[in-house]
């Protein structure tokens, strides 16, 4: 199991906002939301689930959040993007890590938890 702290230094400096887990065997993501995480600190998808009482987000919603952070496999120039990232095939996990989970829509990023 790989674990990554979701952070945003603009909203909550030096704070783990949530934890993204990746099970290497099943290739599935899950997200843990700390009790102390405030709704306004969390990414929208995660905050809306916390608002509904979730502390642990299952694979389906976790994958939706991951896919919102990476280039979709339907992108017209996906071959060029994969070559630029030295990738032979499309892999959500690998793409997510290439940019530390960053996307152009917000300031959230991932930091591996040892």
Give the model's pLDDT for residue 94: 92
Give the model's pLDDT for residue 106: 93
**Mean pLDDT across 27-45:** 95
Distance CA 31, CA 77 (A): 30
Give the model's pLDDT for residue 78: 87
pTM of the model: 0.90
* DSSP string for 1-31: -EEEEEEBTTTBTT---EEEEEETTTTEEEE
Give the model's pLDDT for residue 71: 87
Q: Is the dihedral of CA 81, 87, 89, 90 positive or negative?
A: negative
Is 75's pLDDT higher than 90?
A: no
Q: How far from 59 is each of 46, 48, 62, 82, CA to CA, in Å? A: 13, 16, 5, 24
């Amino acid at each position: 199991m790989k674990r990554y702290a979701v952070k945003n230094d603009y909203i909550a400096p030096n704070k783990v906002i949530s934890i993204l887990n990746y099970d290497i065997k099943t290739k599935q993501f899950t997200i843990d939301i700390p009790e102390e995480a405030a709704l306004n600190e969390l990414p929208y998808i995660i905050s809306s689930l916390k608002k509904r009482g979730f502390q642990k987000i299952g694979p389906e919603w976790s994958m939706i959040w991951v896919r919102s952070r990476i280039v979709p496999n339907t992108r017209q120039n996906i071959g060029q993007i994969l070559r630029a990232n030295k990738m032979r095939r499309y892999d959500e996990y690998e793409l997510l890590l290439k940019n530390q989970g960053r996307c152009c829509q917000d300031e959230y990023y991932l930091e591996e938890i040892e």
